[in-house]
Chains A and B, each alone.
Chain A
């Protein structure tokens, strides 16, 4: 007798050409979202607000209704969707530049209003699709195409710690930072995504997960080295953990 131990989630499209770069963590993140949608039975009751950047391609991979948002506006678009159809499950899938730079106002205000939506933010410390420029989460000293000698305070100021800021908003029900660098961390990431989805389903407020992700192409590293960088350079600045969980207080 055989037991199936691995299958493609139902929320995932079959026979799709995969377009993320080799070794990029977006693929794992999208898969985790698909698995959680499956497990919570949400696939046919969900509307996703996609964003701009590498994250936009989520609609090529998932079997869910999706609207593409202008750069930075996914949280506003998701707000409009949810207010119009409160019985639908609504989430955004964004990068750090989309969520925390150009879209910071939309993100913070959605959290402050306690919108009953969920947001997944991929933090890879750079603008990936445009070729690796400095973003809101680029860490001090990091070399990018627009910080050729490394991020310094004089010219660029500090990176933003997104999960902590979102946790400060009274309307946030859940805020966590996770990583995809190890199998153990991938499992924790899935739990966090599930929690961020469940708080919406319970009507408790915004569910937010910041996912530390590798970008081997723009970091010019092997996938393995890129995960090492996540551990050694990103985690000391962006500490993993749950910053707010109203179901635990």
Chain B
């Protein structure tokens, strides 16, 4: 797999599409450690980055990989790492530091079954891990959830852009199904403006005062000021970067809320329900943080019921309930792990719930 094309439709696995898009986004450094179901990303990058004379390291662990990414990002470089579930757990410390250091780390997280070693089947069990964080302290990661291989490519571009625009670690949250499945994908030219990092990046203090990127704040008062400032940034992100897709919600009685691979089947289910006379719509969050809470809250004024469709024990359902704030019931259709529930199965369960 050595393609790196733009402007031509090709059949490609999600993992390769992510890696290819990262290269086209101008990723200068890749650091990674193998884990199924995302290993193709590192395999692709090992060859491509060397061919292009860019940085590639087979890291000794995910701890090392995230910290190498932190180091590279401290110089303003576009840098990324990729991993999956139990190994993303190892990166939580680094992600917490990277948010505090305000570094544009890009992490591709291709979810598999958990907790613990779990298995290599697709899962959405790391919604909490990505959106609530497993690291210490108050912080948010920007989280983008692709639903197709095309989106795997497009949102990889966006991940680099948002990470650098807001100086905040950004996660592309895919899963084993998206990583392993093949679909047609067309690579556009990187559509975002390049961000000027020269005001903060480390480059050797030539002709200027030295810069220190640090999270250690020995005085409590300093940390208070710092966190207030950090959360002003998150407010800005919440105001400007929420993205979602909405189909058939204008007259809907029931709205399915689903992201990533499970949204594919939920979308079909909503259509089948319409054919059966049920006024169903779907809202698919594309950004999981910031979450489309405001839109859900608006819809709650006219919708009779929300039902989330997830491949976990029910995680995003909590955020939908918070957004809806008791106005209408919020139910859950879920499968603990594996490929998402089939459309007919979703239809059956929706009919039982309404």
Residues 38 to 59 of chain A near chain B (Cβ within 8 Å): 43-47, 49-50, 56, 59
Cα A68 to Cα B67 with chains together (Å): 11
B71 touches A67 (CB 8 A): yes
B29, B64, B214, B216: which contacts A83 (Cβ < 8 A)? B29
B-facing mask of A143-154, CB < 8 A → 1, else 0?
Answer: 000000000000
B94, B203, B210, B214: which contacts A85 (Cβ < 8 A)? B203
Residues 57 to 91 of chain B near chain A (Cβ within 8 Å): 57, 59-61, 63-65, 67-75, 77, 79
A77 interfacial contact with B, CB 8 Å: yes
Q: Which residues of A contact B57 (CB under 8 A)?
A: 79-80, 83, 113
Q: Which residues of B contact A88 (CB under 8 A)?
A: 75, 203-204
Cα A43 to Cα B60 with chains together (Å): 31
Q: Given the interface contacts A67-B213, A73-B64, does A84 sit within 8 Å of B205 by beta carbon?
A: no
Which of the listed residues A62, A66, A76, A78 has the most CB atoms from chain B within 10 Å of its own CB?
Answer: A76
A66 touches B210 (CB 8 A): yes
A224 interfacial contact with B, CB 8 Å: no
A-facing mask of B200-242, CB < 8 A → 1, else 0?
Answer: 0011111101111111100000000000000000000000000
Q: Which residues of A contact B65 (CB under 8 A)?
A: 76
**How distant is B218 from chain A, measured CB to nearest CB, in Å?**
9
B55 interfacial contact with A, CB 8 Å: yes
A64 interfacial contact with B, CB 8 Å: yes
Q: How large is the interface on B (under 10, 10 to 19, 20 to 34, 35 or more residues)?
A: 35 or more
B243 interfacial contact with A, CB 8 Å: no
**How distant is B155 from chain A, measured CB to nearest CB, in Å?**
24
Q: How large is the interface on A (under 10, 10 to 19, 20 to 34, 35 or more residues)?
A: 35 or more
**How distant is B157 from chain A, measured CB to nearest CB, in Å?**
20
A81 interfacial contact with B, CB 8 Å: yes
B71 touches A77 (CB 8 A): yes
Q: Which residues of B contact A66 (CB under 8 A)?
A: 202, 210-214
B183 interfacial contact with A, CB 8 Å: no
B28, B60, B101: which contacts A84 (Cβ < 8 A)? B28
Closest B residue to A105 by beta carbon equals B60
A142 interfacial contact with B, CB 8 Å: no
B93 interfacial contact with A, CB 8 Å: yes
Closest A residue to B202 by beta carbon equals A65
B97 interfacial contact with A, CB 8 Å: yes
A245 interfacial contact with B, CB 8 Å: no
A105 touches B64 (CB 8 A): yes
Q: Which residues of B contact A81 (CB under 8 A)?
A: 71-72, 74-75, 202
B215 touches A62 (CB 8 A): no
Q: Which residues of A contact B101 (CB under 8 A)?
A: 67-68
Q: Which residues of B contact A56 (CB under 8 A)?
A: 216
Q: Which residues of B contact A83 (CB under 8 A)?
A: 29, 55, 57, 68, 71-72
Provide 23 A-B residue pairs closer than 8 Å at the C-beta atoms, listed in order of the A residue: A43-B205, A45-B206, A49-B71, A59-B212, A63-B209, A66-B210, A66-B211, A67-B71, A67-B101, A67-B212, A67-B213, A68-B213, A68-B214, A68-B216, A69-B67, A70-B94, A80-B31, A80-B69, A80-B74, A81-B71, A82-B71, A84-B75, A88-B204
* Complex A-B, nearest 10 residue pairs according to Cβ-Cβ distance, in ascending order: A80-B71, A80-B68, A76-B67, A84-B72, A77-B71, A83-B55, A73-B67, A109-B60, A80-B72, A84-B77
